[in-house]
Structure formats: structure tokens, C-alpha cells
């Protein structure tokens, strides 16, 4: 198995179009598996019957971090990919990412914006580079970073990503990431930053692949999933504060000087 795509899902009706986009865009054939994780609920919509798709049902809601961890636990691929449940993917996205991903990389792709009603890529310039910053003194955040001098570098290092689509070697997850920690962070937020900081500390890189793309649902459309469940609230402010407590010294003392920001 080459690639396992883990999709954490909590009551999002766009899950099925997302899986269809992955299946139709894939160039890996039987070397692809999609693992949809139903986070403590039973879906009422019709599931896709395809030998490349596996479904995991969690008996209780664990939140996005726990659902990703659960999907990774059963993943068989040489590479792991995480995808949000409201995304469209370019033809051949999976081969374009796995063909070049190095042993110590986390890689994302050029990010466009999705119109989920028309199910098409919106005519809005994509996001490539993002700079890691502390927003309003209270949380780590990726900020759009214009780097016109690097526009022709198709695979390049970057500082941050949204977290809605990434690929890494399965071994890197096992050896470096371990799992997404829920203690302190809570069930939902700061997952991409946790992985990036762990990667940097282990000598790895956060990479951007402009040779392929995905489109994530534009924020102008209503949310079709919840930040947290009644039994497992997101507690986002506490998670933001915890991430700063753990990583702000390293960010200020090591990362900012390295990146000259």
C-alpha cells in the first residue's frame, strides 16, 4: 500500500463528494486506501462501496485529533495523508505528492478555495506560502506570505499550513510525531503546528508542492460540521494557550532567527 488517506469526520455531508474526488483523482490504483473515521456518530447517508475505502466508527466522540490518531492506527500505507471532509483534489495529486516526499518531510499542496454547492474550484488566487506567526499574542497561526521571488520554485520549504491536507512518510509519523496529543491541546486545535514543531526539532522540513493542488471549502459557505461535540468541547482558547506555553520559547529562540523573521 502506497498511500493511506485519513479523513476525520463529524456530521459533514460533504464527506462523500470528498471521497469521490480522491478516488477519481487518484493515479495510484490499488495502492491507495481511504480511511473515513466517523467520530462517535453513525452516518445516515449512503456510503461509497469501493474496495479502496475503509470506514472506522469510534464508539464515542474523540474530536479531530483523536479521530486522526484512530485512522493512522489502522493505516497500511507507506505514506500517510490527512484530508478535511470538504475538499476537492487535483488529478494525480496522490502520485505527485508521494513521488517526491522525502523521509523527513511533511508536505502540503497549493491550496485553492472550493465552492461546495457547485463543487468546483473558485476563481480566487490560491495560497502557497504561509508564515508561522503568533496572532494577537494568543495563538500560533499561518499567515499568507507573498514570496514572488520564489514563484518558479515548485517544491519549496515553507513555515506553516492550514492542516487540511498534508502528506508524510508513515515512518516519520511513527518515529517523530507519535500521535496528536490531546492533553493540553484539547481535541481539535493546533494540530498542524504541533507536527511542524516536532518535525523541525527532529531535523525535518515543512514543504510546499506547487505541482499539485487541493481546494478547501471557502469560509463564506456555512459550516457543515461542528468544532466540538457536546460531550467533547473544543476548548480552543485553552488549546491555543497550551501550544504557546510549550512552543513559544523554541519559536522565538530558534525558528525566528533561522527564518529571519
Query: pLDDT tens digits, residue range 61-84?
Result: 999 999 999 999 999 999 999 999
Distance CA 135, CA 143 (A): 9
**Three-state helix/strand/coil letters over the chain:** CCEEEEEEECCCCCHHHHHHHHHHHCCCHHHEEEEEEECCCCCCCCCCCCCCEEEEECCCCCHHHHHHHHHHHHCCCCEEEEECCCEEECCCHHHHHHCCCCCCEEEEEEEEEEECCCCEECCCCCECCEEEEEECCCEEEEEECCCHHHCCCCEEECCCCCCCEEEEEHHHHHHHHCCCCCCCCCCCCCHHHHHHHHHHHCCCEEEEEEEEEEEEECCCCCCCCCCCECCECCCHHHHHHHHHHHHHHHHHHHHHHHHCC
User: What is residue 184's predicted lDDT score, i.e. its pLDDT?
Assistant: 96
Helices 191-201, 236-250: crossing angle, 10 deg rounding:
20
Cell numbers linked to 65: 485529533
Mean pLDDT, the chain, whole residue set: 96
205-217 vs 87-89, strand pairing mode: antiparallel
Query: Above 70 in pLDDT, residue 254?
Result: yes
| pLDDT per residue as tens digits for the range 190-220 | 999 999 999 999 999 999 999 999 999 999 9
Which comes out higher in pLDDT, residue 113 or 230?
A: 113
CATH number for the domain spanning 28: value is 3.90.550.10
Counting the structural domains of the chain, the total is 1
| pLDDT per residue as tens digits for the range 55-66 | 999 999 999 999
For residue 77, the tally of other CB atoms under 10 A from its CB is: 23
User: What is residue 182's predicted lDDT score, i.e. its pLDDT?
Assistant: 95
User: What is residue 244's predicted lDDT score, i.e. its pLDDT?
Assistant: 98
Distance CA 248, CA 242 (A): 10
| pLDDT per residue as tens digits for the range 97-138 | 999 999 999 999 999 999 999 999 999 999 999 999 999 999
Residue 231 pLDDT level (bands cut at 50, 70, 90)? confident
Q: What are 53's strand-pairing partners?
A: 34
Q: Show the domain range for 84.
A: 3-259
Cβ atoms 56, 36 nearer than 8 A: yes
Give the distance, in angstroms, between the CA of residue 30 and the centroid of all CA atoms in the same chain: 23
| CA atoms lying within 13 Å on the CB side of residue 222 | 4
Query: Above 90 in pLDDT, residue 156?
Result: yes
Amino acid at each position: 500500500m502506497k498511500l493511506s488517506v485519513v479523513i476525520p469526520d463529524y456530521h459533514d455531508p460533504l464527506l462523500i463528494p470528498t471521497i469521490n474526488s480522491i478516488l477519481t483523482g487518484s493515479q495510484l490504483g490499488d495502492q491507495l486506501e481511504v480511511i473515513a473515521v466517523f467520530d462517535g456518530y453513525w452516518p445516515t447517508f449512503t456510503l461509497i462501496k469501493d474496495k479502496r475505502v475503509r470506514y472506522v466508527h469510534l464508539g464515542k466522540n474523540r474530536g479531530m485529533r483523536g479521530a486522526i490518531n484512530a485512522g493512522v492506527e489502522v493505516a497500511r500505507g507507506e505514506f500517510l495523508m490527512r484530508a478535511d471532509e470538504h475538499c476537492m483534489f487535483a488529478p494525480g495529486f496522490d502520485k505527485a505528492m508521494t513521488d517526491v516526499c522525502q523521509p523527513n518531510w511533511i508536505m502540503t499542496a497549493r491550496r485553492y478555495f472550493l465552492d461546495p454547492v457547485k463543487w468546483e474550484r473558485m476563481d480566487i488566487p490560491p495560497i502557497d506560502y504561509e508564515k508561522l506567526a503568533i496572532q494577537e499574542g494568543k495563538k500560533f497561526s499561518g499567515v499568507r506570505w507573498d514570496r514572488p521571488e520564489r514563484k518558479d520554485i515548485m517544491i519549496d520549504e515553507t513555515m506553516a499550513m492550514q492542516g487540511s491536507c498534508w502528506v508524510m512518510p508513515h515512518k516519520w509519523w511513527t518515529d517523530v510525531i507519535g500521535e496528536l496529543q490531546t492533553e493540553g491541546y484539547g481535541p481539535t486545535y493546533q494540530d498542524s503546528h504541533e507536527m511542524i514543531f516536532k518535525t523541525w526539532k527532529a531535523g525535518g522540513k515543512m514543504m510546499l508542492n506547487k505541482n499539485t493542488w487541493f481546494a478547501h471549502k471557502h469560509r463564506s459557505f456555512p459550516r457543515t460540521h461542528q468544532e466540538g461535540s457536546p460531550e467533547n468541547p473544543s476548548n480552543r482558547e485553552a488549546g491555543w494557550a497550551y501550544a504557546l506555553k510549550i512552543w513559544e520559547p523554541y519559536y522565538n529562540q530558534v525558528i525566528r532567527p533561522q527564518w529571519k523573521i
